[in-house]
């Protein structure tokens, strides 16, 4: 048996022979299908914009804000992917992001933004190392360790702020002084699409707005985050190192018999996980706000974990989930009441379509619930002019719950994810 065989092995199905067909393999979404889905989503948003007059749905400002909201979620999700592919559940992503926000701001304030970026990586990696020591070496429950690290990070960063920032201009126990930003870049010529965006034409203006938002005034850290998605896929799915790391998360006992140092690869996965989460924290304090503030992470580590689950523990799906959650977050932060109210119409149509498909597949409970919630969304849209502010503020979390509920049927986590391992067992 090889490491590749460990990963390709599936639960035993019925024995071969007449009347004993093997279970069909699930098809993965290919790039053309993904691009078609993105195009369909843009058409749907454009149609909703025209019907409702909610012009901010596809504006360059909303797109830029969505990308900015998606990056820290995506980096946290990538961190969770590395850890869980090695078999370690990382609830501590929130705490590792907190370390990243503080160390990033501290490094940038004292020595410049690039040093701040490195400091955030190291701060997050330190949180990952603590989690690895607790779970891998000492066998502490993964959930308990993750929660403890988040609590530890909050207290530690408050104490460090008292030492480093109290008494400085604009700084204090709850925040840092203003820190220098990383460079921003724009693609030449794209800014000229502003005229098309302001026309309000169906689809053409929406496409112009999205392109302006994606390719103007983009932080270098955003570009790095985008490049980390295919890089993670290449390392974990196309290299011997990644093959060994994933074998540890699927069947550590079998990996051990093949000579793989299971503990070492678990450490690799969790430390890289912390570093990526720290990078997500740096984005919040060095790009999104240019200042460290206590409570700045605000649950994004947990939403990143949800994006990873939505993406079925794969980088491409994770990126899609991050963009979805980031878009909803950005919409509610801008013209929240108007935009979220308009999105109710789109949500109603999508839920009814999903419900009809599930009913066609004879999944009556899921289909019935989807249709019922779709009808409820439609009734809410036509019966009201605005969405209540508390619901607008809670929209990202509601979206997370709904998306995970709909995606639950197709999830396939690593087989040994969260399972305690002891050498020789």
Range of the domain at 78: 55-334
Phi, psi of 59 (to 5 degrees): -70, 160
Whether 12 shows a pLDDT value over 60: the answer reads no
Phi, psi of 85 (to 5 degrees): -65, -20
Give the domain CATH number at 93: 1.10.3470
Query: How is residue 156 written in tokens?
Result: 């530690």
| Confidence bin at 17 (pLDDT 50/70/90) | very low
pLDDT of 28 reads 61
In a domain, 26, yes or no: no
Task: Point out which residues pair with 293 in neighbouring strands.
Answer: 175
Task: Point out which residues pair with 185 in neighbouring strands.
Answer: 218
The verdict on 256 and 401 lying in the same domain is: no
CA dihedral over 168, 170, 171, 172, signed as positive or negative = positive
Whether 19 shows a pLDDT value over 50: the answer reads no
- Average of per-residue pLDDT across 126-155: 97
- Average of per-residue pLDDT across 32-51: 87
pLDDT of 9 reads 54
CB atoms within 10 A of CB 381: 19
Q: Which of 280-294, 363-377, 390-404 has the lowest mean pLDDT?
A: 390-404
Percent of the chain topping pLDDT 70: 91
Continuous segment of H or E residues that includes residue 218: strand 218-219
The verdict on 297 and 373 lying in the same domain is: no
Cα separations in angstroms, 198 against 55, 159, 195, 201, 352: 10, 49, 5, 8, 32
In a domain, 3, yes or no: no
Percent of the chain topping pLDDT 90: 70
In a domain, 414, yes or no: no
Query: How is residue 63 written in tokens?
Result: 């797109």
pLDDT digits (tens, 9 = 90+) for 266-317: 999 999 999 999 999 999 999 999 999 999 999 999 999 999 998 899 999 8
- Residue 46 in contact with residue 206, Cβ under 8 Å? yes
Whether 425 shows a pLDDT value over 90: the answer reads no
Q: How far is CA 199 from the centre of its chain?
A: 33
pLDDT digits (tens, 9 = 90+) for 226-266: 999 999 999 999 999 999 999 999 999 999 999 999 999 99
Nearest CA among 238, 219, 401, 171 for reference residue 306? 401
The verdict on 205 and 178 lying in the same domain is: yes
- Residue 273 in contact with residue 79, Cβ under 8 Å? yes
Q: How far is CA 157 from the centre of its chain?
A: 24
| Confidence bin at 328 (pLDDT 50/70/90) | confident
The verdict on 303 and 350 lying in the same domain is: no
In a domain, 420, yes or no: no
In a domain, 329, yes or no: yes
Place of tokens 């392109």: 211
- Average of per-residue pLDDT across 346-356: 91
Total tally of structural domains belonging to the chain = 2
The verdict on 328 and 199 lying in the same domain is: yes
| Confidence bin at 16 (pLDDT 50/70/90) | very low
DSSP strand pairing (184-185 vs 218-219):
antiparallel
CB atoms within 10 A of CB 160: 16
Burial 409-420 (b: 16+ CB within 10 A, else e): eeeeebbbbbee
In a domain, 47, yes or no: no
In a domain, 5, yes or no: no
Continuous segment of H or E residues that includes residue 321: helix 315-333
pLDDT of 129 reads 98
- Residue-by-residue DSSP string for 121-168: HHHHHHHHHHHHIIIIIS---HHHHHHHHHHHHHHHHHHHHHHHTTTS
Task: Point out which residues pair with 219 in neighbouring strands.
Answer: 184
- Average of per-residue pLDDT across 346-362: 91
The verdict on 281 and 381 lying in the same domain is: no
- Average of per-residue pLDDT across 338-352: 90
Mean pLDDT of the chain: 89
pLDDT digits (tens, 9 = 90+) for 53-104: 888 899 999 999 999 999 999 999 999 999 999 999 999 999 999 999 999 9
pLDDT of 8 reads 56
- Residue 263 in contact with residue 257, Cβ under 8 Å? no
Instruction: For the chain, give the longest Cα–Cα distance.
Output: 80
The verdict on 327 and 342 lying in the same domain is: no
pLDDT digits (tens, 9 = 90+) for 177-207: 999 999 999 999 898 899 999 998 999 999 9
């Amino acid at each position: 048996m090889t490491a590749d065989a460990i990963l390709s092995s599936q639960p035993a199905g019925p024995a071969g022979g007449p009347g004993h067909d093997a279970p069909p393999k699930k098809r993965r979404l290919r790039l053309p299908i993904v691009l078609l889905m993105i195009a369909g989503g843009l058409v749907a948003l454009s149609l909703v914009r025209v019907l409702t007059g909610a012009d901010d749905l596809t504006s360059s400002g909303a797109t830029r804000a969505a990308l900015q909201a998606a990056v820290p979620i995506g980096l946290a999700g990538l961190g969770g992917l590395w850890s869980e592919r090695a078999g370690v559940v990382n609830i501590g992503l929130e705490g590792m992001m907190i370390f990243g926000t503080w160390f990033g701001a501290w490094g940038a304030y004292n020595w410049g933004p690039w040093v701040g970026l490195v400091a955030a990586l190291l701060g997050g990696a330190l949180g990952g190392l603590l989690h690895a020591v607790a779970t891998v070496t000492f066998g502490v429950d993964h959930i308990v360790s993750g929660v403890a690290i988040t609590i530890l990070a909050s207290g530690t960063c408050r104490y460090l702020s008292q030492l480093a920032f109290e008494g400085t201009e604009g700084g204090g126990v709850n925040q840092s002084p203003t820190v220098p930003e990383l460079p921003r870049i724009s693609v030449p010529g794209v800014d000229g699409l502003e005229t098309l965006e302001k026309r309000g034409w169906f689809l053409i203006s929406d496409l112009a707005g999205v392109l302006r938002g994606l390719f103007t005034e983009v932080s270098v850290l955003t570009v790095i985050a985008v490049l980390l998605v295919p890089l993670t896929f290449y390392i974990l799915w196309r290299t011997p190192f990644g093959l060994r790391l994933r074998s540890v998360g699927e069947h550590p006992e079998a990996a051990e018999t093949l000579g793989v140092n299971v503990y070492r690869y678990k450490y690799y996965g969790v430390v890289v996980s912390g570093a990526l989460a720290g990078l997500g924290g740096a984005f919040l304090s060095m790009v999104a706000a240019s200042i460290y503030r206590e409570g700045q992470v605000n649950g994004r580590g947990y939403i990143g974990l949800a994006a990873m689950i939505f993406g079925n523990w794969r980088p491409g799906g994770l990126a899609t989930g991050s963009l979805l959650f980031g878009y909803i977050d950005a919409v509610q932060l801008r013209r929240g009441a108007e935009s979220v109210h308009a999105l109710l119409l789109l949500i109603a149509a999508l839920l009814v379509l999903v419900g009809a498909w599930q009913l066609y597949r004879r999944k009556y409970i899921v289909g019935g619930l989807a249709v019922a919630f779709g009808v409820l969304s439609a009734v809410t849209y036509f019966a009201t002019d605005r969405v209540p502010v508390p619901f607008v503020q809670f929209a990202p979390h509601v979206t997370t719950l709904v998306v995970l509920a709909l995606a639950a049927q197709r999830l396939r986590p690593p087989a040994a994810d969260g399972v305690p391992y002891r050498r020789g067992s």
